[in-house]
Amino acid sequence: MIFDARKIADRQTELTARWHQAAPAAGGDGFFRLLEENHLRNFSLWHEEDVARRDDLGFERVYQAKRNIDRFNQERNNFAEEMDKAVVAALHPPPRASASNAPTSRPASASCWPTSRRSAAPSPSITSSRCITTRR
């Protein structure tokens, strides 16, 4: 699996434009399916955040938008975790050492997926990231 940040960013820009014209739906296969599902949650989240900021829609619509925001955030987190697993699997990490020769201290690793509103693809223009740090 090859990760080309520019191609990922271009694909997400294309999807965002398309989803403003037609019903949003994720496609792709494997990791790229996860990436599109994650981007769809970002896209949906941004629109619900816009609704939640409005003061002309009444309490019920804003309440529903906030519920949707919670759901989209959780779904986005779930897809980010699946993306993490796919990346680790693609890297083919060495098997874990047995308990008898395992190091006493394990290094931490971090996995970061961008949450920038401008682009949800890895690039130098990222304004914020969701990072998970785990002990291995």
List pLDDT tens digits, range 37-72: 999 999 999 999 999 999 999 999 999 999 999 999
Is residue 132 included in any domain, yes or no? Answer: no
CA angle 122, 128, 133 (to 5 degrees): 80
Residue 128 scores a pLDDT above 60:
no
Residue 16 banded pLDDT, cuts 50, 70, 90:
very high
Q: Domains in the chain: how many in total?
A: 1
Is residue 59 included in any domain, yes or no? Answer: yes
Is residue 83 included in any domain, yes or no? Answer: yes
Is residue 49 included in any domain, yes or no? Answer: yes
Domain of residue 102: give its range.
27-106
Is residue 126 included in any domain, yes or no? Answer: no
Is residue 47 included in any domain, yes or no? Answer: yes
Is residue 116 included in any domain, yes or no? Answer: no
Is residue 12 included in any domain, yes or no? Answer: no
State phi, psi for 100 to the nearest 5 degrees: -70, -30
* pLDDT over 70, % of the chain: 71
pTM, two decimal places: 0.68
